Amino acid sequence: MVALTLSLRAGAVAGICMLLTSSPARAADQAGKVADALKASPVYVSDHLERFAPPGETGQVFDEIRKMGFPTYVAVVPLFEKTTPEPPAGPAGAAQPQATDGEQRVARFANALHDELGRDGLYVVIDQDGRLAARAYGVNVDVPVAEQAAAGLTPRNATAGSRAVTFLRVVRSGRAAELATQARQADELPTAPDDEESWVGPLAITGFLGVGLIVFAGLSYREKIAALLRRVSVTMNGGPVNGVASAKAPGKKIMPVMLSPSEEQLREWTEPELNALSSAVASLAARSVHPDAEPARDLAFQAQAAARNLMNDAASREELVGVLVLAELGQDAARAALRGERAYRPIRPCFFNPLHGRSTTSVKWTLAQGVVKDVPACDQCAEAVKEAKEPGVFLVREEDRAVPYYTRDDLWGETGYGSLREDLVKRVLRGDHKRTSGVGQ
């Protein structure tokens, strides 16, 4: 999962501010220039924000626009103009959330683009802080509801490209109201009292995940998982759900989510990830890279071969998760090589559950034989460990019981899906996974 955020450093902000004064005249001039660019292409990314909208994601935005069925324009721009209050975008008389000055600024710019371009369609604007606002002219889109639903599906560290893709998919799904309701309900439901907190069994959590994935249909597996991790957490006591909590609701504890998707779900997720990896490697093969970026390039090629080989042999959920991990590793390495990144360090997934995505920190954890080690973890699992709670582990079957994958004496347990060791790709290419093939299905 790409972790480029939409927060600019102070120096970058200062640099942009030098280019954009707060005068309305300058803001109108900016809108005119962006509108001129949109006449030639429906996607505009300011030179100052290119690193927050990677080319690969920009291509996904183009793909979504082609599927929309009506003219759609997306602009990623730095905005600093002070605004006057913007009228609500929803039906007259409908209760609308109170917009911040930044939100008003983005919405005002969307209106300005329409005024300059003079064309009907859907206008989507994202600023340097990741605020997204849209306006619809002559097309039937319930913008406020779609914005709310997309916000509920978008992780906090999402890039501009990811935010635009998620919003457009919500609009295209025709289920924005349903998705918005799900997001709102996730915020409103209370958590279980502390003395009721215990972990759910693998069958029940698989059922919960299945419901969540149906609700988020049409999104990639990474977006679905990011939405679940951001919006919901689950605690149970031997059966019925005790509580569901929002990850952002103030005063509510964040509990990690045990992701135990079925083999069928995992197989469904692997194909688009392998295709994305093939596309990234193809782009890399067509270009020369800086000599210092050759290790990242070589890793991308090797990860693709390993992922394909593993997919051909995959006979268990553990191996399918391995395919997803390798696909993400290869994509990240390819992007690093194309950027000419030096001294590239491969990404490490969350040790407790590689489906949680790449790790963001590390925590101390007791491994086999009582060995205490710093292990990579995602935010949710790290929080759980620090509060002396069980992290949201990836469970596999051991005879007639469910156990954490890392307790198994196999390639995945030994390497932590690459979180503990950097030789996962080489070991898969060597065929180490075959010595336990088919176990734990």
With bands split at pLDDT 50, 70 and 90, how would you rate the model's confidence at 417?
very high
What confidence tier does 156 reach under pLDDT thresholds 50, 70, 90?
Answer: low
Strand partners, 374: 364
pLDDT of residue 194: 35
Over the stretch 299-314, which tens digit does the pLDDT of each residue have? 999 999 999 999 998 8
**pLDDT(278) > 80:** yes
**Mean pLDDT, rounded, for 28-45:** 90
Q: What is the amino acid identity at position 201?
A: G
Render pLDDT for 364-395 as a digit per residue (tens, 0 to 9): 998 876 788 999 998 888 988 888 877 888 88
This prediction has a pTM of 0.50
More confident residue, 274 or 437: 274
Q: Identify the pLDDT of residue 225.
A: 63
pLDDT at 396: 86
- pLDDT confidence bin for 93, thresholds 50/70/90: very low
10-92+100-179: CATH, from 3.40.50.970, 3.40.50.360, 3.10.310.50, 3.40.50.300:
3.10.310.50
Q: Which two tokens stand for residue 159?
A: 């890039």
Domain with CATH 3.10.310.50 in the chain: 10-92+100-179
Q: What is the pLDDT of residue 5?
A: 32
Beta bridge partners of 18: none
> What average pLDDT does range 26-40 have in this prediction?
85
Kindly indicate the confidence band of residue 26, based on its pLDDT and cuts at 50, 70 and 90. Answer: low
Residue 227 contacts residue 152 (beta carbons within 8 Å): yes
Higher pLDDT, 247 or 295: 295
The per-residue pLDDT for 111 is 94
Whole-angstrom distance, CA of residue 357 vs CA of residue 259: 11
Candidates 211, 198, 144; CA nearest to 171 is 144
431: left (phi over 0), alpha (psi -120 to 50) or beta: left
Q: What is the chain's mean pLDDT, rounded?
A: 74
Q: For 66-76, what is each residue's pLDDT tens digit? A: 999 999 999 99
- pLDDT bin (cut points 50, 70, 90) of residue 24 is low
HEC profile for the chain?
Answer: CCCCCCCCCHHHHHHHHHHCCCCHHHHHHHHHHHHHHHHHCCEEECHHHHHHCCHHHHHHHHHHHHHCCCCEEEEECCCCCCCCCCCCCCCCCCCCCCCCHHHHHHHHHHHHHHHHHCCCEEEEEECCCCCEEEEEECCCCCHHHHHHHHHHHCCCCCCHHHHHHHHHHHHHHCCHHHHHHHHHHHHHCCCCCHHHCCCCCHHHHHHHHHHHHHHCCCCCHHHHHHHHHHHCCEEECCCCEEEECCCCCCCCCCCCCCCCCCHHHHHHHHHHHHHHHHHHHHHHHCCCCCHHHHHHHHHHHHHHHHHHHHHHHCCCHHHHHHHHHHHHHHHHHHHHHHHCCCCCCCCCECCCCHHHCECCEEEEEECHHHCEEEEEECHHHHHHHHCCCCCCCCEEEECCEEEEHHHCCCHHHHHCCCCCCCCHHHHHHHCHHHHHCCCCC
In this prediction, residue 136 carries a pLDDT of: 96
The stretch 125-144 carries a mean pLDDT of: 93
Q: Greater confidence, 194 or 59?
A: 59
Q: Span 41-55, mean pLDDT? A: 81
How many residues in total does the chain contain? 441
- The candidate with the shortest Cα–Cα distance to 363, out of 381, 341, 336, 344, is 381
Give the pLDDT band of residue 84 (cuts 50, 70, 90): very low
**pLDDT value at 257 more than 90:** no
